[in-house]
Amino acid sequence: MKCGELTDFLEKEIPLRAAESWDNPGLQVGRRDACVRRVYLALDATRQVIDHSIAWGADLLITHHPLMMEGIRKVNADDFHGEKILKMAEHHLAHYAMHTNYDVCRMGEICSRRLQLQETEILEVTEERADGVSRGIGTAGFLPRRMTAEECCAQVKRAFGLGQVRIFGDPRKEVFRAALCPGSGKSLLPRVFEKQADVYITGDIGHHDGIDAADQGLCIIDAGHYGLEHVFVEDMESYLRETFPELEVKAERGDWPFAFA
């Protein structure tokens, strides 16, 4: 299969136009006419992931986060990103990213199902389609039952295989109406308040945003950026194996990108 054939198919399901305007999904490195037999999956194109991809003999690396988010002015081995680009090119490893377009088309629904949210709606609509179907970032809905924020933390940890999460607000508070945004959810806090959520499940919440939200009665469960988004790897592994049985697919089984010491 040609690289372009695979990415064209993916973009019918998860179109690039669904991405946020600031984002940079799509083919990052490589040729559309290159032959793809082995696909490696990861959340980020780190040096370790690139090395693992090459060692396994992958033709294509698919990640959630793009390698390049800002303009790049030179590609050489003295530059951090340039070195990674050169290494992939030298080993004929193409790189493709599915970022906020994936968030809009699949991530929110997958995470909502894991948490068993009911009567769901989009947290922030980003696209109104001609067929009347809206797309957007995040989800709002109801938990399976009323519970304390502490019990909700336990449910999040079970659903996403996490050892710990952070919580802003009273752990004993009863929560029922929930909002969810995998990744970094600070920018959607105004929407969360509009939806009158009791608890917001997200990542990358700073100190001041967290205590201000708690001061207004909102509990925030911060699962970290990795904590929810790692479902991308599992989902795409299943999707590619079912849709393209002729491809060999391998996933990077990562862990938290940092440790507590």
Task: Please report, in range form, the residues annotated as the binding site for a divalent metal cation.
Answer: 64-65, 103, 225, 229
Two tokens, residue 148: 């304390």
User: Looking at 46-117, which runs of residues are DSSP E strands?
Assistant: 60-63, 94-97
Calpha distance 3→16 (Å, rounded): 16
Binding positions are 64-65, 103, 225, 229
Two tokens, residue 59: 């033709």
Taking the CA of residue 105 as centre, how many other CA atoms within 13 Å lie in the half-sphere pointing to its CB? 21
83 touches 45 (CB < 8 A):
no
Calpha distance 11→8 (Å, rounded): 5
